[in-house]
Structure 1
C-alpha cells in the first residue's frame, strides 16, 4: 500500500510540472510576458519548459527521485517570487502558499524516497 501511495503521490506532483511544460509550449505568451516584465530574457521559457518536462518524468519514472524532489522543492520556493504580487493581485499570494505546500510534499518525498515502484533508482 505504501509503495502504491508513493507512486500516486509522485504522479500527482509530476502532473503539475508536466502540465506546466505543456502550458508553456502551447501558449508561451503569458509566461514570456511575466519573465520579460521582471527584466529577464523571455527566451528563458524554453529551458524552463524543458526542465518542467524532464523533472516531471523523472519524478514518475526515476532516476534519482530524491534528488529531483529536492531540486523541484527549491524550484517551487524560488518561483514563488514571481507570484508575490500582494498589491497587484492578492490571489497570487495563494499561489505562493501552494508552491510552498508543494515544496513541502517534495521534501517529504526526498526524505522517504520513491519506494519500490520506479523504473530507475
Structure 2
C-alpha cells in the first residue's frame, strides 16, 4: 500500500511540473517576462520547459527519483523568488509559499528509500508492482 501511495503522491506532484511545461510552451510570454525581469535571457524558457517535462516524467517513472526530487525542490525554492511581490499582488506570496510547501514534500520524498517504487524496470519487480506488459 505504501508503494501505491508513494506513486500517487509522485504523480500529483509531477502534475504541477507537467502543467508548467505546457504553460511555458503554450504561452511563453508571462515566464519570459519574469526571466528577463531579473536580467536573464529569454531563451532560458525552453530549457526550463524541457526540465519541467523531463523531471516530471522521471519523478513518476524513475529511476533516480531521489535526485529528481532534490533538483525539483531546488527549482521550487529558486523560482519562488519570482513571486515575492507583496505590494503589487499579495496573491503572489501565496504562490511563493506553495512553492516552498512543494519543495518540502519533494525533500520528504528524497529522504525516503525509493528502491522498489519505480514504475519500470528491475526496481518495480522487487515490489510486485509491474506495469502492463504487452
Aligned residues: CA RMSD: 1.2
* Pairing of 1:76-95 with structure 2 (within 5 A): 76-95=76-95
- Which consecutive unaligned segments of at least 5 residues does structure 1 have? none
Normalised by the length of structure 1, the TM-score is 0.94
Deviations 1:2-59 (A, max 9, x none): 0000000000011111110011011111111121122211111000000000100000
Spell out structure 1 runs of 4+ moving beyond 3 A: none
Partner of 2:68: 68
Normalised by the length of structure 2, the TM-score is 0.86
Higher relative contact order (CA 8 A, sep 6+): 1
* Pairing of 1:38-77 with structure 2 (within 5 A): 38-77=38-77
Please tell me whether Structure 1 or Structure 2 has the larger radius of gyration of its CA atoms. Answer: 2
- Contact map agreement 1:73 1:106 (CA 8 A) in 2: yes
